[in-house]
Structure 1
Amino acid sequence: MDDEQRSLLSLVLAGGQVAPRRQLLERHGSAAAALAAGPAAWREAGLAPEAAASLRRPDPATMASAARWLAASPTHQLIGWDSADYPALLRGTGSPPLALFVDGDPDVLWQPGIAIVGSRNASAGGRDNARHFALALAQAGLCINSGLAAGIDVCAHEAALSLPQARSIAVVGTGLDMTYPARHAALHRRIAAQGAVVSEHPPGTPPKASHFPSRNRILAGLSLGTLVVEAANRSGALITARQAAEAGREVFAIPGSIHNPLARGCHRLIRDGAALLETADEAIAALAPVATTLASALRGRLAPTPSHPHLGSAAAAPLPQGDYHRLWNALGHDPTPMDELVQRTGLTSAVLSSMLLVMELDGQVAVEHGRYSRKS
């Protein structure tokens, strides 16, 4: 663990309000510089005395535990607020975390995705709907995001993982060195291998009731929209839906029988303005405006350079050469599935999804049922 990562970890473990620590990162340009600025600068940023004391003397056991976890695998990462890899959609929410612990591929956090949430005690029909919509949305190129909980969450994750080129993100309320519930440990590993598992909590953090509502804001913030499949009137899924709406994202709900208590939360959301969802295509069409924002952020992250002359009109935003040129040559006028594009280009599906989103929104690529072609 280098000095910058150690300093960032110290800021994370200091606790207290996020805003002062975020201000320190923004003002000083790096975590190491923020720590070196000293107590006077910390007070000026609004850091509480308890947090400042923790910053001076981080708990050695917690630091050692986090350091061991980060060193255990190249897929274990800590992404700070000041990093270019910090996901743009989450950055634009009202209360983004200072940093994210990630087990998996951090590029997946930039892939356009939808949160699918609902009851832990879902009905058979609810579980079927979760699988159906997750599968259809994943086939369309969306990452399927959820919370690794029982019921709807598990069904959504597993449906996405059934497609070799699909991706899934799990946002959890514990440290990433443990799984809650423990019986989902194998699913945790599959998601990390085919997407990413994310937490704002350092390794060693056990499950606490207060962590799960707060993790829902991250789930909502990473997603273009949130789909509530089945939920009672008092349900954590409704918290995710509310936080999605507060972040300016789309909220969808699937209606159910008036006799099913697990449909009442969805009916309440629909009465309050959520979109009633009957098909995956309805969600895909509604997410396009938010996807435009993500594509704009992706252009900056991918460091655009002048485009190849065949990659679109002069009015289109410039795209980088190299990988984009390779992808353009791999595309034909006949629809091509993602797995074939992976084979033709040698790029990962997560990278291709980001590039294809930019090209689609620039009017250069058409997508239909998860297959891509050049747009005439």
Structure 2
Amino acid sequence: MSREVVLVTGGSGFTGMHSILQLLGAGYRVRTTVRSLKREADVRAMLKVGGAKTGEALSFVAADLMEDAGWSEAVAGCDFVLHVASPFPPSQPKNEDELIIPAREGTLRVLRAARDEGVKRVVLTSSFAAISYGSRSTNKIFTEENWTDLNSDHLSPYVKSKTLAERAAWDFIAREGGALELAVINPVGIFGPVLGADYSSSIQLVQRLMDGALPGCPRLFFGIVDVRDVADLHIRAMTNPAANGQRFLAVAGESMTIQQIALVLRKQLGNSARRVPTRVLPDWLVRLVSLADPAVAQFIPELGKVKNATNAKAGRLLGWTPRSNEEAIVATAESLLQLGLLRNTKKVA
């Protein structure tokens, strides 16, 4: 059993909690940051849903990406840091800096604190968003060599925030990182079992499909990966010497349309998925809806765009083998049902 200490930033988040679960299961001592210590009880309760016995192996520190306070305490005595915390809102902010500044400056705060404390390696959660935007080709298979073109039109604040934060991290390591090592994980849409009402924006797609809250399926394509596999990839990148200085795409297979996701839900969940719509919405109708709904408007440039990526590098260097798209989708819906997080459903005991 390892007695090494790992800091996981953003422990109340979807990926953060699954990372904590796996680290505790592997025998690590875990410290995690939350913006307010009032969240500790909630996080422990959600980890218990995931089967964790947290006890003294898990501790909490209050730290905010926008403030210096708390970060030196958070990293003190840590061997590794998983920097998972980053804002991902369900709708776009009025000012893009609301996302960009916390993502970039927060990443630099964590890296500085880790360097100063003598942490061995930071694993940064970036995104496929930092890889895949601005390309004019719709047939290419994206790899870790690709970067989003920040000069492209119609980039959302989220895409900019993830790209700028990851660029800033690599620049920091090159210029002033000292002995600190860095590895980066670039996940596509993260699905999988939720542990409570705190979950990622990707999960809201399945929730809204299951609730029948969507009139149909826009022609949007999603890369899919299970949150359990994302957490596993973070830990592999944390410990494997081959991961130092590398980016790793976290993607299970080919991208899927919303209609394909809907059909999986209908097939696998039967009557529980009776509200799931399966008809494709024409692009003109989605554009019309976007005029009144900013949350829809952010997806308009992506209508009909296929973006596939390969996980070959993570498999080759780290031995990573993710679950299938279908398994991730079904696990998402089943957990929402079990926890009573869907309309007209009660928590299953």
Asked if Structure 1 and Structure 2 have the same fold, meaning a TM-score greater than 0.5 normalized by the shorter chain, the answer is: no
Which structure is higher in RCO with an 8 Å CA cutoff and minimum separation 6? 2
The normalised TM-score by structure 1 is 0.29
Higher-Rg structure is 1
**Structure with the bigger percentage of helix:** 1
**How does the TM-score come out when normalised to structure 2?**
0.31
